[in-house]
């Protein structure tokens, strides 16, 4: 789809690890990956196992003779957000450019982290073996990515950004500290007066996450971590507080307070069946009616 548009497709919605089985048919078992198509740009949010099927589809719909230009935004580099990279089909096309952006982790640059994750100890494919052109760049909370026309994104600071977004795709960042050890990046993709906020692997706060609420205000779509039920989160035998993930109530409260149009529950617990996720969706709608549980193949177009 070309022209001025903003579309979203979900390729992986699970957290922690991928799961097969007959009880997860409706929502899917692949880990985090969301495709954003904004104007003529393809932006991929995280590279869990969902990116494998996305890669097959990108290869099918893009002729081998055509150059493929992809931007991959990593929220962080825990395994469930990068484990699909060695099996991403476009990465083996010489006429493909992969641009990775993401945070430093514990003061380490993103490139050596990805290089290590794809080293022979852990991966059948090393980063150097990919035939595509690979560019890896650290970004921080003061940065904004600007896509203009068909050109590659430009990274500017907030002070350098002129605030003009007409005809451009803008990516803003918010650093969340509600995830163990590393924190995560939350992204907002803006195009043509619409916006999508991707807030995976974040844990709510007492009274609500004020920074995230402000960041997501009036967004067209909020994709929010909702791994647990309130009962699981507060379970006395095995509480999930401090694990870096939210309940569906936390997600709904952010959506309601931020006045977003749509909420998608994301990063489903790998132990949750279709029936359990469907029940969480119903309960979320009681708080924020325009809510859906994330599912592979779910699409939005604005």
Domain membership of residue 79 (yes or no) is yes
Number of C-beta neighbours around residue 6 at 10 A: 22
Give SS3 for 255. helix
Q: Which residue has the higher pLDDT, 1 or 12?
A: 12
Domain membership of residue 299 (yes or no) is no
281-295 pLDDT, tens digit per residue, is 999 999 999 999 999
Instruction: Enumerate residues 6+ apart whose C-beta is below 8 A from 192.
Output: 4, 5, 6, 39, 302
Domain membership of residue 148 (yes or no) is yes
Domain membership of residue 302 (yes or no) is no
Domain span at residue 53 reads: 6-294
User: Is the confidence at residue 105, as pLDDT, over 90?
Assistant: no
Distance, in Å, from the CA atom of 155 to the CA atom of 139, rounded to the nearest integer, reads 8
Distance, in Å, from the CA atom of 12 to the CA atom of 34, rounded to the nearest integer, reads 7
Q: What is the pTM of this model?
A: 0.96
pLDDT at 256: 98
Distance, in Å, from the CA atom of 297 to the CA atom of 75, rounded to the nearest integer, reads 21
The answer to whether the beta carbons of residues 186 and 197 sit under 8 Å apart is yes
CA dihedral for 253, 257, 262, 267, sign (positive or negative) = negative
Number of C-beta neighbours around residue 164 at 10 A: 10
The answer to whether the beta carbons of residues 252 and 263 sit under 8 Å apart is yes
Report the chain's mean pLDDT, rounded to a whole number: 94
Give SS3 for 83. coil
pLDDT at 181: 79
Question: What's the total number of domains in the chain?
Answer: 1
147, two tokens: 């896509």
* Residue 251 backbone phi and psi in degrees, to 5: -60, -45
37-90 pLDDT, tens digit per residue, is 998 899 999 999 999 999 999 999 988 889 999 999 999 999 999 999 999 999
Distance, in Å, from the CA atom of 211 to the CA atom of 197, rounded to the nearest integer, reads 13
Nearest CA to 276 out of 214, 229, 209, 208 is that of: 229
257 confidence band (pLDDT: 50, 70, 90): very high
Domain membership of residue 264 (yes or no) is yes
Distance, in Å, from the CA atom of 216 to the CA atom of 187, rounded to the nearest integer, reads 9
Domain membership of residue 300 (yes or no) is no
Distance, in Å, from the CA atom of 150 to the CA atom of 107, rounded to the nearest integer, reads 33
- Which CATH number does the domain housing residue 233 bear? 3.60.15.10
268 confidence band (pLDDT: 50, 70, 90): very high
């Amino acid at each position: 789809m070309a022209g001025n548009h903003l579309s979203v497709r979900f390729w992986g919605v699970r957290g922690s690890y991928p799961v097969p089985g007959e009880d997860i048919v409706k929502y899917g078992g692949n880990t985090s990956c969301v495709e954003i198509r904004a104007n003529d740009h393809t932006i991929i949010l995280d590279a869990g196992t969902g990116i494998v099927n996305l890669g097959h589809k990108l290869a099918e719909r893009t002729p081998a003779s055509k150059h493929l230009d992809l931007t991959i935004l990593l929220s962080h580099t825990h395994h469930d957000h990068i484990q699909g990279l060695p099996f991403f089909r476009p990465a083996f096309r010489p006429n493909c450019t992969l641009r990775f952006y993401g945070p430093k982790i514990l003061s380490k640059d993103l490139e050596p982290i990805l290089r290590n994750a794809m080293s022979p100890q852990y991966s059948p494919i090393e980063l150097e073996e990919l035939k595509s052109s690979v560019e890896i760049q650290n970004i921080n909370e003061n940065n904004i990515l600007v896509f203009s026309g068909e050109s590659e994104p430009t990274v500017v600071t907030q002070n350098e950004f002129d605030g003009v977004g007409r005809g451009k795709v803008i990516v803003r960042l918010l650093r969340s500290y509600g995830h163990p050890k590393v924190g995560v990046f939350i992204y907002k993709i803006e195009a043509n007066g619409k916006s999508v906020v991707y807030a995976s692997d974040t844990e709510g706060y007492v009274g609500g996450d004020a920074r995230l609420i402000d960041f997501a205000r009036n967004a067209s779509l909020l994709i929010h971590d909702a791994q647990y039920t309130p009962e699981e989160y507060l379970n006395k035998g095995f509480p999930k507080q401090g694990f870096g993930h939210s309940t569906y109530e936390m997600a709904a409260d952010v959506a309601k307070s931020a006045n977003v149009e749509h909420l998608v529950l994301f990063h489903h617990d790998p132990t949750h069946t279709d029936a359990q996720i469907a029940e969480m969706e119903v309960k979320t709608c009681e708080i924020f009616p325009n809510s859906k549980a994330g599912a592979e193949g779910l699409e939005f177009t604005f």
